[in-house]
Amino acid sequence: MTRCPCEEEVLAKIRPTPEEQAYVRAIGQRLIEAVERSGMAKAMMVGSVARDTFVRGDRDLDIFMLFDPALSREELQEQGLSLAHRIAEEFGATWREKYAEHPYVNATIDSLDIDLVPCYAVPSATEIKSAVDRTPFHTRYILAHIDGYTDDVLLAKQFTKAGGVYGSDHMTEGFSGYLCEVLTIYYGGFRPLLLAAARWRPGEVIDIEEHGAKRFEDPLVVIDPVDPERNVAAALSTSRMFEFVELARGYLAEPSVAFFCRPPSPPLTREVFSRLLAARGTHLFSITFATPDYTPDTVVPQLRKSAGSIRELLERSGFPVNRIDVCMGEERCMLLFELMAGTVPAMRRHIGPPVSSKGNAGKFLEKYVREEVFAGPYVEDGRYVVEIARPFTRAADLLRSNALFDVALGKHVRGSMQQGWTVRAGAECWDEEFAGFLSGFLERSSPLARIWRTTRR
């Protein structure tokens, strides 16, 4: 398949230079030799550098140190870190310990960002002891199958990056690098991948090694070629999946370099934000609090869960919600709620049991005949209905109340909010620290809509 000119144009910009490749590989090779010289572990390069699928300039180096699986977790941790420290020192690096599933060392050597990660040298990916043990198998699998597709993977990565759907972190919920590689290999190139994706449906299943494996509930299921029990696309949300689908269709209909360049979107100013919000006529509320001291992959899902629970509380309380979103900043987190009504009538309808349900109906009537009500109980379609007072007629009062702690907040979010939280309404939600987030909320568009609006005007 010949490439269209725009793909060649893009590749010329993103393909790593031979000098860059040689340089990174040379450093990697020296680090591997240093690890193996210690006699404590084997070593290998993993990640995009190992596969030559890194985009120019984006050359983080991952060195995995493979220890004997007979070691205990504690021994692995101790020996792994001590070896990593030693090597970092030997290379004159600045370094620090970091924690994912277990600790590793992040070092800077000759301006390269390098991770030194201890793991178990298990015989097969189905026998891993922790998620990092799987990584070497991914690298081996891709190296064995990538022949001829290196440029295609680069295009797929740049395409998903520019479209805002690259990254399997919890904030993005998009495509990981490994997923881009597996899909490109499976379909046989970048263009065939797009042709297939243009026809994806929710629940699409891709089983490259024909494992015929277990069933997943995810929107896209890509059985890991090295582990039938794992869905490579588990982190992908339905939204990101179908944003990729629309991008694929849009690109196939009209290929252009625009699909490989994330257009700059400068944040709004306070004034424009305020004007746009007033035009919408909706009721915006923000909740901010100190960012819990955990990684984004811990905090972001808790922010989402908390915002979802508060959304339900708002809707149960009579405030219809248009959209919500969350943002984890360095210092503070923001939960954002856009409501269709900021105040609601004092009266709320409370639906009781069917009158035919004798015991419950009697209790309901007894209770409300004695209480102050606006109207009822009356019978509507065979059920009792009573019209009573609601505790909060203003959303701001509800959001400022302790009722928030009655709903399912994420653990660390709850902890942070117990130290205090701030509720702001309308244009007052504007906050320079969250300028990009607030702007993106009001200007939300799918990636293809954004590209079309930029290129067709």
Does residue 445 bind its own copies (CB under 8 A)?
yes
Q: Which of 347, 396, 407, 435 lies at the binding interface for its own copies (CB under 8 A)? A: 347
CB of 376 to its own copies, least distance (A): 6
CA distance 255 to 6: 7
**Cβ atoms within 10 Å, residue 236:** 24
Number of residues located near its own copies, criterion CB under 8 A: 61
Does residue 173 bind its own copies (CB under 8 A)?
no
CA distance 28 to 22: 10
Q: Which is nearer to its own copies, 14 or 313 (CB)?
A: 313
Q: Which of 196, 208, 365, 396 lies at the binding interface for its own copies (CB under 8 A)? A: 365
CB of 426 to its own copies, least distance (A): 12
Residue 86 assigned ligand-binding role = no
Does residue 358 bind its own copies (CB under 8 A)?
yes
Tokens standing for residue 313: 């509380």
Radius of gyration, CA atoms only, the chain: 27
CB of 238 to its own copies, least distance (A): 4
- Residues 301/173, Cβ–Cβ less than 8 Å: no
Does residue 202 bind its own copies (CB under 8 A)?
yes
Q: Which of 60, 63, 40 is nearest to 48 (CA)?
A: 60
User: Is there a cis peptide before residue 353, judged by omega within 30 degrees of 0?
Assistant: no
Q: Which is nearer to its own copies, 102 or 349 (CB)?
A: 349
CB of 356 to its own copies, least distance (A): 5
CA distance 264 to 171: 20
Q: Which is nearer to its own copies, 118 or 318 (CB)?
A: 318
CA distance 452 to 247: 10
Q: Helices in 198-268 by DSSP H: which ranges?
A: 238-253
Does residue 29 bind its own copies (CB under 8 A)?
no
Alpha carbon of 302 to those of 51, 214, 334: distances in Å?
34, 28, 12
Q: Which is nearer to its own copies, 26 or 369 (CB)?
A: 369
- Residues 12/5, Cβ–Cβ less than 8 Å: no
Does residue 246 bind its own copies (CB under 8 A)?
yes
CB of 392 to its own copies, least distance (A): 12
Does residue 242 bind its own copies (CB under 8 A)?
yes
CB of 141 to its own copies, least distance (A): 29
- Residues 178/136, Cβ–Cβ less than 8 Å: no
Residue 48 assigned ligand-binding role = yes
Q: Which of residues 366-395 bind its own copies (CB under 8 A)?
A: 368-369, 374-382, 384, 387, 393
CA distance 428 to 295: 29
CA distance 180 to 176: 6
CA distance 320 to 341: 6
Does residue 193 bind its own copies (CB under 8 A)?
no
DSSP code, position 131: G
Choose the binding region for its own copies from 90-98, 123-131, 137-145, 194-202 (rule: CB under 8 A).
194-202
CB of 386 to its own copies, least distance (A): 9
Instruction: Say how far residue 286 (Cα) sits from the centre of its chain.
Output: 21
**Kind plus residue range of the DSSP H or E element containing 25:** helix 18-37
- Residues 112/102, Cβ–Cβ less than 8 Å: no
CB of 312 to its own copies, least distance (A): 16
Annotated binding site for CTP: 48, 51, 138, 157, 166
Annotated binding site: 48, 51, 60, 62, 115, 138, 157, 166
Interface positions with its own copies (CB under 8 A): 198-202, 219, 238-239, 241-243, 245-246, 249, 276, 279-283, 318, 320, 322, 340-341, 344-347, 349, 354-356, 358, 361-362, 365, 368-369, 374-382, 384, 387, 393, 442-446, 448-449, 452-453, 456
